[in-house]
Structure 1
Amino acid sequence: MLFGKLLPREGNFFEMFNQHGLRIVEAAKAFSHLVEHYGDLDSREKYTREIDRAEREADKVTHEVNRMLHQTFITPIDREQIHSLINTMDDVVDLLQDAAETMALYDLQHLTPEVARLAELSLKCCQCVADAVGQLARIAEAPAAERALKLCEEIDHLEDDADRVLRSAVSKLFREEPDVREVIKLKAIYELLETVTDRCEDVANLIEGVILENS
């Protein structure tokens, strides 16, 4: 009976990845809506609450995966890969929450088109992450592995775009924004959002490693 309890539950890990991926997309969509409706205080509070809720739910999934790692005798993929993947995914949600909290803490009164563009790129990256982790349960099948790798490549392109937007946005800030306080505030938001795409790229790199080792 003891050995039976230690048998792997492979589907559970992949399902946990999928659940966390959904929370990532929920947080990214809420952040995108937050930016879109930032001028409306009620909407601002509503979407901030949605981001917080998604982050809490994502944390629960992360804790469950880490707990399962200690209780599962055999895992479907390398234990370190599971640990790194779920925790890096969790970083994505944490950063989105950090960005929303920073806007509130800094009492940011207006957003720029560059914030909107970075929020859009972050959302696209998060959607690709959720789709890519959804392929992991079937990576032994060539179509699923190919799909995941294409999504990882798309994340790389989106991260490159976000990096370019960041550089251009910061340059524009220093050239055109006379208020030093606004420069500091907006630069912090730009960097947080670009880091969201960085973490998504980290997830993509981990997924590529899983595929190369297991497909």
Structure 2
Amino acid sequence: MGLRDWIIPQDKVFFDLFEEQAEVLKKASVHLCSMIQNFNDPMNDCHKMKAYENEGDDITHTIYQILNKTFITPIEPEEISKLAKVLDDILDHIDDIARQLYTYNIKKTDNYMVEMSKLIHLQAEELVLVTAALRDLKKPDFIEEKCIEINRLENLADEILDRALRELFLSDDAIRIIKLKEIYETLEIATDLCEEAANVIGDIAIKHS
């Protein structure tokens, strides 16, 4: 890439990479749903999830590399960095969920895990749409609509977590409580991070529209 390419705003490359990152996130969320619902080969499912996480890491690294060498960007460098980080954090937590299910030798998943994984997938689908909409910041209403939906899904995850913990604490099995509590909470944190990503995108849309 020549000097002219670094000086001219790299509009397309950052938006392309954000869309790639969102698509990887969506694929990982689909795999998470399948892993939790079927749960017949957690070791291989965990390895496959790690591949998605590594793919996301590569995209994030590319964003940072280009950002560090680009003088003029389509949106603020801090906004690019912040969005790249939170999308990467979501993938990290989805990978953590898969790893916990395998490492903790969970024998059976439950409806709470299924419900929360579905919410993560729905949020990921919305993030694909809202990330693509960053290319057209003159239409903030669409972005706002999608961000509101992502936030609504996060609120549902909070309710599911409350129910899951309430039932879990009826058990006298301390080891089971420790394992499942961490899995439930990691699932919920993933939905929190999806909400955070939506908020970042919403703020960008407001600032630049």
Match of 1:200 in 2: 194
Letter aligned with residue 54 of structure 2:
R
Q: Which residue of 2 aligns with 1:147?
A: 142
Is the CA contact 2:43–2:102 (under 8 Å) kept in the aligned structure 1? no
Structure 1 partner of 2:24: 23
Separation of aligned partners in 2, 1:211 and 1:5: 24
Task: Give the Cα separation in 2 of the matches to 1:123 and 1:4.
Answer: 36
1:54 matched to 2:55: no
Q: TM-score, length-normalised on structure 1?
A: 0.93
State which drifts further: 199-208 or 49-58: 49-58
1:159 corresponds in structure 2 to: 154
Instruction: Give a deviation string over 1:128-186, Cα, whole Å, max 9, x none.
Output: 1121111001112x2xx2221111000100000000100111011112x2322111111
Identity of aligned residues (%): 28
Contact 1:23/1:54 (<8 A) preserved = yes
Q: Which residue of 1 aligns with 2:8?
A: 7
Residue type matched to 1:202 in 2?
A: E
Q: Corresponding residue for 2:73?
A: 75
Partner AA of 1:178 in structure 2: D
2:45–2:98: 8 Å Cα contact kept in structure 1? no
Match of 2:106 among 101, 105, 108: 108
Structure 1 unaligned spans of 5+: none
Aligned Cα root-mean-square deviation (Å): 1.3
Instruction: Letter of the 2:97 partner, please give it.
Output: A
Partner of 1:85: 83
Runs of 4+ in 1 over 3 A off after TM superposition: 1-5
Partner of 1:33: 34
- Displacement of 1:47 in angstroms is 2.8
| TM-score scaled by length of structure 2 | 0.95
> SS at 2:48's partner residue?
helix
Q: Which runs of 5+ in 2 are unaligned?
A: none
CA distance in 1, matches of 2:43, 2:101: 12
Q: CA deviation at 1:3?
A: 4.6
Is contact 1:26–1:51 with CA below 8 Å preserved after alignment? no
**Amino acid in the other structure paired with 2:153:** L
| Separation of aligned partners in 1, 2:167 and 2:145 | 33
1:190 to 184, 187, 197: 184
For residue 86 of structure 1, report the CA deviation from its aligned partner. Answer: 0.5
Q: After TM superposition, give the deviation of residue 2 of structure 1 in Å.
A: 3.5
Equivalent-residue separation in structure 1 for 2:3 and 2:54 (angstroms):
33
Q: Which amino acid aligns with 1:157?
A: R
The structural deviation recorded for 1:4 is 5.0
Mean Cα deviation higher: 93-102 or 145-154: 145-154
Contact 1:9 1:75 in 2 (8 A): yes
Establish whether residue 137 from structure 1 lines up as the match of residue 138 from structure 2: no
